[in-house]
Structure 1
Amino acid sequence: MEVTDVDVIPVEMNVDSLEDGGIAPYQGKFSSVERVERVLIRLCTETGIEGWGEIRPSPSVESTMGLLRNDVIPQVIGRSVWEIESFVSGFHYEYLDLNSYIAGVEMAMWDALGKHLDAPLHRLLGGKASDHVPVASTLGILSPERSRTYASMALDQGYDVLKLKAGRDWQTDVERVVAMHEEVDGNLEFRLDPNQGWTFEDAVRVGARLEDAGIYLQYLEQPVRIDTFGTYKRLRNRLSTPIGINEDAYFPRNLSHLLGEDAIDVAVVDLVPAGGILALKSQAAVAAEHGISVAHHDGFDLGIKKAAVLHAVASTTAINLAVDTVYPAWEDYLLENPLTVSEGTMAVPDGPGLGVSVDEGKLEQYRIG
């Protein structure tokens, strides 16, 4: 079954506001998110079967679409949808990393292959180890008092873990975590993510202050900038708090180096910058061999990518921590039957391929460009 055509479709979706039960504006160290652009990939085959992929445009929608159309998509036209390994390994550019773009097409190939075989993606990946994937709720930077309210709500909704953005002021970051911990009587675990926004000294002070207050984060995520390998080893030696990386995990050699240096406790991976589902499973296997835990990142994933994440995580036992999710916070959804969160988990779709269907009316409503 050959691939005959691939279309790229840019969309823009709004994140629901805090006043309406959402999380916007979702403030981090460097940004404040209220709406998100994404590029969807629709792959068509000679038999009429379609497969879908989804990626985050980088650095822009226009450049992403250009790279897909000119450099990535021509390499999949005429291939059979099951030639996934040869497709993803067939690129070599000395000065450019195409992993994110390749991942979107690979996702669409998996979706089409599953539909062709009338099998859910997780079955093609080795089978799901669980029907449901635990997920972590997420929250941007708010005042300590507003954060208290959100923590109580997350606990009432059945979440066990809450991921918090941080990095603008380390002392206020500590106050927020303490306030939320007190609000829920210690019944939530927290992940703190400053997006590379602290100095080594600030990261030490945050971890030490929280430890002195009897609060041990599930992990401290990418507290300092990427490529500072010695910093992570020193930080791990100074604190009892587990140290995690996210952006560093987007570069396979960085992850391997940090594992070899015994410098981290957690890798927060993402199948799109990893280069696809095959690459993600390889990363998770390497991390497991080094005895560290693995979580999966959420880059404001719409339903297509989130479905792919659920299949990949459910079939990869090395990914042993709850998956980040902002999915309940979208103002609207592109799927005919949106995914749901119940008691802090998301069900793994069981339909063919990704197990989700795109609502063509919503697709046209949110299409841009």
Structure 2
Amino acid sequence: MPILDVTTHLVSAPLHTPFVTALRRTTTTDTVVVVVTDEHGHRGYGEAPQVWRVTGESLAGARACIDGPLRDAVLGRDPDDLHDLLRTVRGAVVGNHGAKGAVDVALHDLAARRLGVPLAQFLGGSATTARTDVTLSVAEPDELAATAAARVAEGFDVLKIKVGTDAVGDVARVRAIRAAVGPGVRIRLDANQGWTPRQAVRAIRAMEDAGTDVELVEQPVDGHDVAGLAHVTAHVDTLTLADEAVYGIRELLAVIERRAADMVNVKLAKSAGLGPARTLLDLAEAAGMGTMVGSMMETHIGVGAAASLVAAYGTSAVSDLDAAWWLTSAPVTGGITYEGPTVRLPDAPGLGIDALTVAEP
């Protein structure tokens, strides 16, 4: 049953609340959805989100890559030859991690559907749920405190605070949130590369001195500045988490060799899919690093794949899988659902996606 067709669809899905970080502000999730179809009509879904300030990939670029060389790489191939097929996809183009990740996920989804098993089971696990944190966008202390209290009331017990716009103000923001939610809620920070190494050390130490009990700080400095990340890690007690510093094996090895971070955040759109992501998790664990699986601003397709990976592999920290929670409604039928901090995987083959409901052909 060879692959007969590969199609792409543009999706722009509105968010219920603006998503604001040190890098950008957005009110929509914009992504390219790829559908891979075999001879018997089985379909596999994947997506390539547009994240200009992180991966640098655009909707137009991802779509051209998928419609061109990646489509050529898989048409007529047997999806059961998954390992060889994924190797071909990775070697078909340079870069284009999001586009390759979308096709990688679609091929995994298709293979699982053909066997009639959920994707998590196909990846080697039996769990049907995964836990997630919830993100609080950049805002002033009073607004953040109110939002944090509301999220805790909704059942979330791990809050990810976007910081990095103002190191001094960030300390006040975190103190306000801790005062609002009390000691029983975990607070983690994501600076999105917004601090210099010196600013990061000063801010994190100030939070430590204030007793804010921050669980971890994600990507405090520029992703290319591995030496700066190592400097921060060596001069604070709080755990550091590498995100934009790690796309693939080469970057993770550099972080490991420099002991530049305590943990790594693995994302499918950065690592080019489930295949490379599994390698990164194994490598990080072997090196004694903590692990987490995250997502860009993606829909239920990309987050469903990430949650399936967590359900199969597990991570040392609660993962960051709330991206689809931000959507006003699902642009698909089927797939994952949210119950507070619990991501529920469907009891259906593959990702359990039945169809796209909002898309431009």
How would you bin the TM-score normalised by the shorter chain? over 0.9
2:53 corresponds in structure 1 to none
Which structure carries more strand by proportion? 2
1:12 corresponds in structure 2 to 12
Q: For residues 292 and 40 of structure 1, do their structure 2 counterparts lie closer, same or farther at Cα, with a shift above 3 Å needed?
A: same
Of the candidates 103, 106, 121, which is equivalent to residue 104 of structure 2? 106
SS at match of 1:336: strand
Of the candidates 83, 86, 108, which is equivalent to residue 84 of structure 2? 86
- Contact 2:89 / 2:104 at 8 angstroms: preserved in 1? no
Instruction: Quote how far apart the aligned CAs of 1:318 are.
Output: 4.1
2:345 corresponds in structure 1 to 348
Instruction: Quote how far apart the aligned CAs of 1:331 are.
Output: 1.6
Q: For residues 324 and 306 of structure 1, do their structure 2 counterparts lie closer, same or farther at Cα, with a shift above 3 Å needed?
A: closer
Instruction: Quote how far apart the aligned CAs of 1:94 are.
Output: 11
| Corresponding letter in the other structure for 1:278 | G
| Corresponding letter in the other structure for 1:34 | T
Q: For residues 185 and 293 of structure 1, do their structure 2 counterparts lie closer, same or farther at Cα, with a shift above 3 Å needed?
A: same
How many residue pairs match? The answer is: 356
Instruction: Quote how far apart the aligned CAs of 1:276 are.
Output: 1.2
1:339 corresponds in structure 2 to 336
Instruction: Quote how far apart the aligned CAs of 1:27 are.
Output: 1.5
| Corresponding letter in the other structure for 1:355 | G
Instruction: Quote how far apart the aligned CAs of 1:125 are.
Output: 1.0
Is residue 185 from structure 1 mapped to residue 186 from structure 2 by the alignment? no
- Contact 2:284 / 2:291 at 8 angstroms: preserved in 1? yes
Question: Larger deviation: 243-252 or 335-344?
Answer: 335-344
SS at match of 1:250: coil
- Contact 1:122 / 1:314 at 8 angstroms: preserved in 2? yes
2:150 corresponds in structure 1 to 153
| Corresponding letter in the other structure for 1:220 | V
Instruction: Quote how far apart the aligned CAs of 1:82 are.
Output: 1.9
1:31 corresponds in structure 2 to 24
| Corresponding letter in the other structure for 1:341 | Y
| Corresponding letter in the other structure for 1:50 | R
Overall identity of the aligned pairs, in %? 24
TM-score by length of 1: 0.91
Q: For residues 115 and 140 of structure 1, do their structure 2 counterparts lie closer, same or farther at Cα, with a shift above 3 Å needed?
A: same
2:113 corresponds in structure 1 to 115
1:240 corresponds in structure 2 to 237
Matches within 5 A, 1:171-320: 171-318=168-315, 320=317
* Superimposed CA distance per residue, residues 304-337 of structure 1 (whole angstroms, 9 cap, x where no aligned partner): 1111111111111245433341322212211224
SS at match of 1:47: coil
* Superimposed CA distance per residue, residues 264-299 of structure 1 (whole angstroms, 9 cap, x where no aligned partner): 111011022212111111100111111121112221
- Contact 1:131 / 1:348 at 8 angstroms: preserved in 2? yes
SS at match of 1:315: helix
Name structure 1 gaps, 5 residues minimum: 17-22
| Corresponding letter in the other structure for 1:4 | L
Distance in 2 of aligned mates of 1:272 and 1:346: 19
SS at match of 2:195: coil
SS at match of 2:204: helix
- Contact 2:226 / 2:245 at 8 angstroms: preserved in 1? no
- Contact 1:165 / 1:192 at 8 angstroms: preserved in 2? yes
Question: Larger deviation: 84-93 or 194-203?
Answer: 84-93
Question: Larger deviation: 81-90 or 293-302?
Answer: 81-90
- Contact 2:191 / 2:219 at 8 angstroms: preserved in 1? yes
Of the candidates 45, 52, 64, which is equivalent to residue 52 of structure 1? 45
Distance in 2 of aligned mates of 1:79 and 1:338: 26
- Contact 1:27 / 1:33 at 8 angstroms: preserved in 2? yes
Q: For residues 232 and 60 of structure 1, do their structure 2 counterparts lie closer, same or farther at Cα, with a shift above 3 Å needed?
A: closer
Distance in 1 of aligned mates of 2:260 and 2:349: 40
2:141 corresponds in structure 1 to 144
| Corresponding letter in the other structure for 1:2 | P
SS at match of 2:279: helix
Distance in 2 of aligned mates of 1:285 and 1:338: 27
2:35 corresponds in structure 1 to 42
Instruction: Quote how far apart the aligned CAs of 1:234 are.
Output: 1.8
Question: Larger deviation: 35-44 or 337-346?
Answer: 337-346
- Stretches of 4+ moved more than 4 A in 1? 91-95
Distance in 2 of aligned mates of 1:313 and 1:50: 23
- Contact 2:15 / 2:27 at 8 angstroms: preserved in 1? yes
SS at match of 2:85: helix
- Contact 1:82 / 1:109 at 8 angstroms: preserved in 2? no
Instruction: Quote how far apart the aligned CAs of 1:260 are.
Output: 2.1
SS at match of 2:206: helix
Distance in 1 of aligned mates of 2:184 and 2:316: 23
- Contact 1:103 / 1:271 at 8 angstroms: preserved in 2? yes
- Contact 1:227 / 1:254 at 8 angstroms: preserved in 2? no
Question: Larger deviation: 339-348 or 107-116?
Answer: 339-348
Q: For residues 325 and 9 of structure 1, do their structure 2 counterparts lie closer, same or farther at Cα, with a shift above 3 Å needed?
A: same
Instruction: Quote how far apart the aligned CAs of 1:343 are.
Output: 4.1
- Contact 1:311 / 1:349 at 8 angstroms: preserved in 2? no
* Superimposed CA distance per residue, residues 174-214 of structure 1 (whole angstroms, 9 cap, x where no aligned partner): 11111010001122212211211111111011101100011
* Superimposed CA distance per residue, residues 80-99 of structure 1 (whole angstroms, 9 cap, x where no aligned partner): 11222212222577993133
Distance in 2 of aligned mates of 1:133 and 1:246: 20
